[in-house]
Structure 1
């Protein structure tokens, strides 16, 4: 394999089967759009593809409780009672039951574990699993569009099978609560989440005072940001905190979550970042991995609900960063535009830049940035 083919990309059409309903905001079509964009650009080749498998029950039990897994199996066949559905978090509008949900959710986990094995056995230097990143699922409860927490299971798998010390970097707009609570008393992983403050956004947690407990005290780090945070303040808060943390913690591998819902066009959040920041984030994390973990990094997808205008362009740069390719400029591939414009409910952007015609003016930029800087400096002072 040539150097850049040592990057893995988890994909199979079967990953698109993780689907709650046709009109549900969590739509894996975004994974297909991104994959075809990378193929049409000529960067994603067959040799990069890591096929997912269905994770075993034993692997799911690394994080999830036995009764919860059985309930998800029952829900897969439509035989879960209303009471049980409520107990296990699959009765609301967000996270609902669908056919074969256990199998389709376990496949997302298995894709991550296959990639983790390839990275740890040095078959791959790094890789991404954009169809994963289901960081809200709790050990005994579905939550926030997430059934099984592939991020947490992968971390537990790396600790168990490879005795790794893991740094989890979560840049999704929503706090990575499921991952945090799964390891709140564990010193083998440091969970870092930079997100829109829970004052106004699901799941409501992720305050900077949540720092872990018992042996894990100090191994949970949260950087909550104000709504309408823009690129400069976001990147300043991120860089100022993540570098001292990785220097102090000294992980063996980085696991990162790249939700792209900090974009100003995302329908579910209140952040004001653009593609420029989203392009930058994976390059920052890749550079940290090259410097501190011998290049070992496994990048997940996560949130991102504007599937036409934001996700494909942003997620492409997760893979491009891992390859060591430069950021894209100019026009998107015409073949991709011609195919997908027919399906898109809006006019597709033809270039890699945000048009910004509808970018909202933020009157309190200085105030927002000052507030974010205060939190970042406080967090930084702990390391």
Structure 2
């Protein structure tokens, strides 16, 4: 099945970054967009601009005092000792000029993508600057200052009473911020497949985190063992995600597509390849058509090998969103333009060669452990999802 696709982006969305040697580098957005353009994947798909999120938007999920503190931090008018209580000015979330404006633009981009889809302007939409899933109500966390998915979900719930939204997160890190914002809400299903918190930030996302009160069963977590490869990750995804989405019956699927589960990523211990980053968007697309008339919004997220992994993974995401075939080779122009600037040798093919990523010595053991986890997840949540 196919549908109309939109890509929400403008250059102002590339101002969200922490500078210096910080791993969250907005250059990955520019690399991805130019790769899509050079491959011809943006033909007929002009970039859709957006407006920054307003204070009223942000305070659907964030505390107003926190929003004001972010604004002061970006102006340099707050004491660091005050900011630290809000997770600002830390190693993960250092201050940068006009940070409120940059963060509000990202939220506005994802909000625009969601409104486009819910308003019928597109069946699918992508905003790769989004995916800042760690931000809490009153605290920055894990490179995330405002929670774009949280705001978008809250606004859609206001604008479309009775809407049911499924949030599916395949970032290597647990989608904790979005989960906690809707932990008691049976109208929002949060699903996160991630490296187990025992081994990786933020240290949460265990199977028993399954929602509270009326939201019991509507938080779904699949913690994966370190060194999980494509086969095991995909098996866990297929065991859990279609099952819980079909039980829930969403009106919209919002997916977070962090690509830091790749074996080359420096901030996780998983062993995926580009095969995972073709599979999951394709399945999100199919499930959206099966369950909610194609309504699907895709964001970016983590991804810290910005040269070899992120551009290819998110180009594959856009190909799925826009119903286009993924070319086999990276274009020579893109390789020439960025090859001189890259600190590593750039790949020449869009897909990883499986021979370069052989199964690890514990692959079978890890796969069996992940299979048991997926079975346990379904036992714990399916009886509650209605």
> Structure 1 length normalisation: TM-score?
0.96
Contact 2:259-2:313 within 8 A present in 1 as well: yes
The partner residue of 2:123 within 119, 122, 125 is 125
Residues 47-89 of structure 1, C-alpha deviations (whole Å, 9 max, x = no match) = 4421121110000001100000000000011111122111100
| 358-367 or 278-287: bigger deviation | 358-367
| 168-177 or 349-358: bigger deviation | 349-358
Q: Which stretches in structure 1 are left out of the alignment for 5+ residues? A: none
Which residue does the alignment assign to 2:19? 21
Contact 2:6-2:322 within 8 A present in 1 as well: no
Residue 275 (structure 1) shift: 0.7
Distance 1:231 1:94, change over 3 A: same
In the alignment, the residues of structure 2 paired with residue 284 and residue 126 of structure 1 have an alpha-carbon distance, to the nearest angstrom, of 13
Residues 170-219 of structure 1, C-alpha deviations (whole Å, 9 max, x = no match) = 00000000001111111110100000000010000000000111111111
The partner residue of 2:10 within 5, 9, 12 is 12
Distance 1:71 1:360, change over 3 A: farther
In the alignment, the residues of structure 2 paired with residue 312 and residue 224 of structure 1 have an alpha-carbon distance, to the nearest angstrom, of 26
In the alignment, the residues of structure 1 paired with residue 66 and residue 5 of structure 2 have an alpha-carbon distance, to the nearest angstrom, of 34
In the alignment, the residues of structure 2 paired with residue 217 and residue 361 of structure 1 have an alpha-carbon distance, to the nearest angstrom, of 37
Give matches, 1:53-92, under 5 Å. 53-92=51-90
Residue 347 (structure 1) shift: 1.2
Q: Which stretches in structure 2 are left out of the alignment for 5+ residues? A: none
Residue 380 (structure 1) shift: 2.2
Which residue does the alignment assign to 1:137? 135
Which residue does the alignment assign to 2:230? 231
May I ask how many residue pairs the two structures share in their alignment? 379
Residues 220-239 of structure 1, C-alpha deviations (whole Å, 9 max, x = no match) = 00000000001111000001
Q: Is residue 181 of structure 1 aligned with residue 177 of structure 2? A: no
Contact 2:307-2:346 within 8 A present in 1 as well: yes
Contact 2:7-2:45 within 8 A present in 1 as well: no
Residue 360 (structure 1) shift: 6.9
Residue 303 (structure 1) shift: 0.1
CA RMSD of aligned residues (A): 1.4
Which residue does the alignment assign to 1:161? 159
Contact 2:178-2:190 within 8 A present in 1 as well: yes
Which residue does the alignment assign to 1:104? 102
Residues 249-275 of structure 1, C-alpha deviations (whole Å, 9 max, x = no match) = 001000000000010000000001111
SS of equivalent to 1:227 = coil
Which residue does the alignment assign to 2:311? 312
Which residue does the alignment assign to 2:344? 346
Contact 2:116-2:125 within 8 A present in 1 as well: no
In the alignment, the residues of structure 2 paired with residue 327 and residue 356 of structure 1 have an alpha-carbon distance, to the nearest angstrom, of 17
Residue 298 (structure 1) shift: 0.4
In the alignment, the residues of structure 2 paired with residue 124 and residue 43 of structure 1 have an alpha-carbon distance, to the nearest angstrom, of 17
| 262-271 or 82-91: bigger deviation | 82-91
SS of equivalent to 2:194 = strand
SS of equivalent to 1:148 = coil
Q: Is residue 51 of structure 1 aligned with residue 43 of structure 2? A: no
Residue 162 (structure 1) shift: 1.5
Residue 308 (structure 1) shift: 0.4
Give matches, 1:216-255, under 5 Å. 216-255=215-254
In the alignment, the residues of structure 2 paired with residue 299 and residue 30 of structure 1 have an alpha-carbon distance, to the nearest angstrom, of 16
Residue 368 (structure 1) shift: 0.6
Contact 2:39-2:327 within 8 A present in 1 as well: no
Which residue does the alignment assign to 1:33? 31
SS of equivalent to 2:242 = helix
SS of equivalent to 1:135 = coil
> Structure 2 length normalisation: TM-score?
0.95
Which residue does the alignment assign to 2:292? 293
SS of equivalent to 1:328 = coil
Contact 1:7-1:48 within 8 A present in 2 as well: no
Residue 355 (structure 1) shift: 4.6
In the alignment, the residues of structure 2 paired with residue 371 and residue 186 of structure 1 have an alpha-carbon distance, to the nearest angstrom, of 30
SS of equivalent to 2:126 = strand
| 307-316 or 36-45: bigger deviation | 36-45
